[in-house]
């Protein structure tokens, strides 16, 4: 099973100058908890989560429209995968980076989708005795979820 079999293909992205209020509304409208921050070429340069927005609201004592996505770019590479990657390779990337979501990028490095633990868990299957293991097993999903969910 490849990432393309599981990923979401409708993705909303934001730019570094976008304010957190707009990004939060984008998350609400698209029922998602993470938005890639992209450069002018559509390549991910950061990722902003609903948790980032909640913590910013509580800790920075500024209105969300006064805070920009660029304030959350860490300089660390964004964890990504390709639509053609095997799903287990993407799970390994999630575990290594301890992230719940990966930006899926095309050959030019542009965001073309998102892969989330929710997507993975919803597609995982139980193995059937004598028929081998499924392409994405419950064990694969739960082990990855346990790893990425450990307290940092």
**Helix or strand holding residue 114 (H, E):** strand 111-116
Q: Please say whether the structural domain 3-149 has been given the CATH code 2.60.120.460.
A: no
6-63, pLDDT tens digit by residue?
999 999 999 999 999 999 999 999 989 999 999 999 999 999 999 999 988 888 888 8
pTM exceeds cut of 0.75: yes
Interhelix angle 50-59/20-30, rounded to 10 degrees, is: 140
> Of 5-9, 67-71, 140-144, which range is least confident?
140-144
Query: How many angstroms separate the CA atoms of 40 and 90, rounded?
Result: 26
Mean pLDDT of 72-87: 91
pLDDT given at position 131:
65
């Amino acid at each position: 099973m490849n990432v393309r079999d599981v990923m979401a293909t409708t993705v909303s992205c934001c730019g570094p100058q976008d304010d957190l209020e707009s990004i939060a509304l984008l998350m609400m409208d698209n029922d998602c908890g993470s938005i890639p921050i992209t450069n002018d070429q559509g390549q991910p340069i950061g990722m902003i989560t609903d948790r980032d927005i909640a913590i910013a609201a509580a800790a920075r004592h500024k209105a969300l429209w006064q805070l920009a996505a660029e304030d959350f770019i860490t300089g660390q590479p964004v964890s990504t995968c390709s639509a053609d990657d095997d799903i287990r390779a993407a799970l390994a990337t999630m575990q290594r980076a301890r992230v719940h979501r990966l930006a899926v990028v095309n050959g030019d490095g542009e965001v073309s989708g998102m892969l989330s633990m929710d997507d993975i868990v919803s597609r995982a299957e139980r193995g059937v005795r004598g028929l081998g293991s499924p392409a994405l097993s419950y064990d694969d999903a739960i082990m990855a979820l346990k790893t990425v969910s450990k307290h940092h």
